[in-house]
Chains A and B, each alone.
Chain A
Amino acid sequence: MAKIESAFFDIGTLDRLASRDNWLSRLDPRAKVVTTLLFVVMVVSSGKYEVSALLPFFLFPFTLIAVADLPLDYLLKKLLIAAPFAFFVGVFNPFFDPAPQLQLNGWAISGGWLSFASIMLRFTLTVSAALILIATTSFTGVCLALEKLGAPRVFVLQLLFLYRYLFVLIDEGTRLHRAQTLRSFNGKGRGLKVLGSLLGQLLLRTLDRAQRIHMAMLCRGFDGEVRMTRRLCIGVREVVFVGGWGATFLLFRSYNLPQTLGLLVERLMR
């Protein structure tokens, strides 16, 4: 439990990073959201066996990390926490797809291994891009941008509240768990049945709280729209940012640069 707790509470670190002042954090959140979205689409839509073509895309996360001076080890740790999901998505590919796809110095590499590597690469690229987005924009900024970009209001509201009350929920869950642990002995009182009523309890408390929050919102004139004081503006910097990266991604996506480079070197060597 302690581990889960600390992992979750660490989310605050992303927000702290986002509150630092630098060129990137001053950029309009919409520009960053759109660019990240473009990036994710370009990476995800690459071919199933692409490995080398994905490598140039690392330019994007690395540039942002350098500009915003983000702690690399922290991001890597976050990546590792999420890695098992991607790992298990792809880990059986080598068994299902044993047909050789690539000859490397006499070694045959099967399509399964290639697609597995491709999945892991894509995972690293997209998740790090998302982490960087939040670390430079803050979760709230991302939500705000989504709303301004036309995402359904209910959806944005849900995201905002998820983020705000995640900590309260974890707190509540931890208290329940602690109360249970303190009164269970020799493995008694830890079964599924107890867990069930524990979760039921948590759900009821959450519903109660939701009602109270709604009440508090109504008391302050909530009418379905979330308004915030942040002023957003799209300027030259934003256009250049989105346009520049968009063009770069398109280039990476249309030409396999490492392959082209390799062929070029090969021709020069000959």
Chain B
Amino acid sequence: MSHHIVAVQDLHYAYADGTPAVQGISFRIEHGESVAIVGANGAGKSTLLLHLNGYLTPQRGTVQVGDCLLSKETLPQARRTVGMVFQDPDDQLFMPTVRDDVAFGPLNLGLALDEVEDRVAAALKRVDAEHLADRPPYRLSGGEKRAVAIASVLSMQPEILVMDEPTTGLDPAARRRLIDLLASFHHTRIIATHDLDLVLDLCTRTIVIHQGKIMADRPTLEIFQDAELLQRSHLEAPLRLQSCPVCSRTLPPPHEPEAHHHHHDDLVEPHCHD
């Protein structure tokens, strides 16, 4: 299904004052892939994301979503295909109640009321937030806001999900719930984040961006083992891949242990110090 791909070709973008934000980025993300975009503050992640749904137009280069190149004419189609979850849910939940907010996209697509109501119910159910439907967004907790923000995108039934820092401001339990939720999606997922442990759980491929350029585009585990690359890009290996502060041993990541050869393969049971 070629309409789930995202391809960026030699993308350039500079801010109005001339500061370059993105300088020649190219990648191609296939259907169903889950890709992390990581990089230091100001590396150009957010600017890149804003190109993926056509909010910014490339100054040079192209962005392809599905079968068509992004342009003024294909914009509505692209925005329907790419669901964007913003960093601050308060920016995304602008309607008076959760129900109105989740219905906002489908109503703008011109769907019939019954269909919209079905979609709202389904999207809220998907993120386990049916009980919040009639609440105003300002009365929700951080985790609830995040779940509803995702529902407000799901209701448009996008094929590609783009997320900017989905775990900021969440407590550990809410963060874990979010990761489980995202892991259950079959969409093509593009996640920009500093939460490298989340990347380890969710993304098989990682693109490292530094100063507007791609430093590396490889399988996640390979990237996290490249200490030199991480340091150059102002990053750090996920905590779980770092040695334990108490006994200095390392645990293998929960998924794909076979891709990962540690010197203590004998360690099977949960890590404990007694």
Chain A residues in the interface with B (C-beta under 8 A): 12, 15, 19, 138-140, 143, 160-161, 163-165, 167-168, 209, 212-213, 215-223, 227-229, 231
Contacts and interface: CB of A to CB of B under 8 A. Distances in A.
A15 B138 CA distance: 12
Nearest to B113: A229
B104 A227 contact: yes
Given A212-B86, A215-B55, A229-B117, A221 B109 contact: yes
Interface of B: 50, 53, 55, 76, 79-80, 82-84, 86, 88, 90-92, 94-97, 99-100, 103-105, 107-109, 113, 116-117, 120, 134, 136-139, 152-153, 156
A229 B113 CA distance: 7
- What DSSP secondary structure best describes chain B's contact surface? helix
Given A164-B138, A220-B79, A223-B108, A229 B94 contact: no
A140 B96 contact: yes
A164 B97 CA distance: 9
Contact of A227 (B53, B83, B96, B108): B108
Contacts of A218: 55, 79
Nearest to B149: A216
Contacts of B79: 218-221
A229 B120 contact: yes
B76 A219 contact: no
Contacts of B88: 212
- What DSSP secondary structure best describes chain A's contact surface? helix
A213 B188 CA distance: 24
Contacts of B105: 220-221
B80 A221 contact: yes
B123 to A, nearest CB: 12
A229 B103 contact: yes
A216 B86 CA distance: 7
A220 B94 CA distance: 12
A229 B92 CA distance: 18
A15 B135 CA distance: 10
Contacts of A209: 90-91
Contacts of A217: 94, 104
A164 B137 contact: yes
